Amino acid sequence: MKLLCLVAAACLVASAASPKRDWKTGMLTDLSSERVLAGFGGPLAYTTPGGLLTGHPAVYATVQRFVIVGEGMEWTVELQRDPGFARRPNLTVNGPLKYALEPAKPAGRFTNSHPERFYLLDADNREWQTTVLEKKLLAPPPLPAK
């Protein structure tokens, strides 16, 4: 009985803590991916016919850039995945996707500021937090008549 109460309490806390996002539907128009140097691993030593070699192997991370169009705006966002993290968003170019935008927050007395956050929801309903690199207004508003 105690275990059941603990599980129910944990589920209640988890559901209360998960943020409610205002998901909108957009379209993924472009996707690119590249490997970038993330740093160097721990020391490595191996023996060769010429003697003992030591060094630090390079560690690479994957950076994916997405171009998303929705509600008259175009966003270019970036997702950097840590080395060794094989999972990637299940998205289709020129296909629909859900996104949510969290506005930037200024620094408070005890909190740091954070830039605008852009969230993607992929076909497997996994949420991915990305960094906004660029945003463009697709159709500028008409100029007032004189």
Token output for 65: 């850039």
Nearest to 74 by CA among 135, 139, 141: 135
- pTM, two decimal places: 0.69
Residue 55 clears pLDDT 60, i.e. is over it: yes
pLDDT band at 2 (very low <50, low <70, confident <90, very high): low
- pLDDT score for 92: 94
Between residues 58 and 134, the one the model is more confident about: 134
- pLDDT score for 69: 96
**Exposure b/e, 38-62, CB count within 10 A at least 16 = b:** beeeeeeeeeeeeeeeeeeeeeebb
H/E stretch holding 5 reads: helix 2-17
* Tens digits of residue pLDDT in 4-51: 444 454 444 444 445 789 999 999 999 999 988 877 777 766 666 777
* Tens digits of residue pLDDT in 83-137: 777 788 999 999 999 999 988 777 677 666 667 789 999 999 999 999 999 999 9
